[in-house]
Amino acid sequence: MEKLAFNFQAILASILDKPAEMTDYAGKQMDHIKRILHAMPAYSCPLSCNLCCHGSILMSYVEYIHILHRLQEKYGAEKLSALFSERLGVLEEEGKLLCPFIDTNKKAEHCAIYDDRPLICRVYGTTAAPCATEIDQPHFPSASFHQAYNLLYYLADGSFIGLPLPDGLALFEAPFSIWAAADSGKTEEVLNIFAEHGSMRAVICDLPANRFFTILPGGERQYIT
């Protein structure tokens, strides 16, 4: 089992103590998302399938904060420590970052945080991987998705929510493991990960240029148009 060269267990204590206004905001936004998506038709996925749970699942900083807070509420210290030491930073084939919340022991809802899962898992999950069995993918109004997306990624004044990185960069969207690493303040180590492995599909903003990009393995920037 290959893992990123980053000590996730060592950062756990440093990222848990979030201000109440931050966790309250994240919780309220996620509750709003659930209300927006309440009428969304269910996918007809086979219960045994978890193909969409693989491949660097992206989320906003708001979703990361909410999930981190819910983990504190639901997990004891020992289980949370084990999650960070054993599950965060695990790489799948082709260097893809494994979602730490996949629960392959469950026959359905193969997710340890199913009730708090990110927006992408709620709406467009089945487009993330080729389905083993053809399914009826329901129509979901794009306006509702964009409404939900904006609640998670942008403040009321239109500015995006992210974390600062060195050299005028900011992390905009990332898998949970990358958010945790950046949230610890070890941003140089995060940039080293990006240089070696690519950004694991994470989206970064060049603030002076106001341009978004991902980083390919080897360090090359791939700008998003």
- Is a pLDDT exceeding 80 seen at residue 135? no
- Give domain limits for the chain: 19-153, 163-223
Structure confidence at residue 63 (pLDDT) = 98
If one counts every other C-beta atom within 10 angstroms of the C-beta of residue 148, the result is 22
Structure confidence at residue 101 (pLDDT) = 94
Structure confidence at residue 108 (pLDDT) = 61
- Is a pLDDT exceeding 80 seen at residue 4? yes
Q: Calculate the CA 165 to chain-centre distance.
A: 17
73-128 pLDDT, tens digit per residue, is 999 999 999 999 999 999 988 778 999 998 877 666 678 998 999 998 888 655 55
Structure confidence at residue 96 (pLDDT) = 85
What is the distance between the alpha carbons of residues 65 and 196, in angstroms, rounded to a whole number? Answer: 26
Structure confidence at residue 142 (pLDDT) = 80
Structure confidence at residue 20 (pLDDT) = 96
Structure confidence at residue 202 (pLDDT) = 96
Whole-prediction pTM value? 0.93
Structure confidence at residue 50 (pLDDT) = 78
Cα distances from 164 to residues 104, 115, 170, 171, 194, in angstroms, run 35, 29, 4, 6, 15
**Per-residue H/E/C for the chain:** CCECCCCHHHHHHHHHCCCHHHHHHHHHHHHHHHHHCCCCCCCCCCCCCCHHHCCCCCECHHHHHHHHHHHHHHCCHHHHHHHHHHCCCEECHHHCECCCCECCCCCCCCECCHHHCCHHHHHCHHHCCCCCCCCCCCCCCHHHHHHHHHHHHECCCCCECCEEECCCEEEEEECHHHHHHHHCCCHHHHHHHHHHHCCCCCEEEECCCCEEEEECCCCCEEECC
Q: How confident is the model at residue 133 (pLDDT cuts 50, 70, 90)?
A: confident
Structure confidence at residue 166 (pLDDT) = 93
Structure confidence at residue 65 (pLDDT) = 98
- Rg of the chain over Cα atoms, rounded to whole angstroms, equals 17
Q: How confident is the model at residue 188 (pLDDT cuts 50, 70, 90)?
A: very high
- Is a pLDDT exceeding 90 seen at residue 137? no
Lateral strand order in the sheet of 163-165: 163-165, 169-173, 203-206, 211-215, 221-223
Structure confidence at residue 154 (pLDDT) = 96
44 vs 74 pLDDT, higher one: 74
Q: Which amino acid is at 146?
A: H
- Is a pLDDT exceeding 90 seen at residue 21? yes
What is the distance between the alpha carbons of residues 174 and 57, in angstroms, rounded to a whole number? Answer: 8
Q: Which amino acid is at 86?
A: E
Q: How confident is the model at residue 130 (pLDDT cuts 50, 70, 90)?
A: low
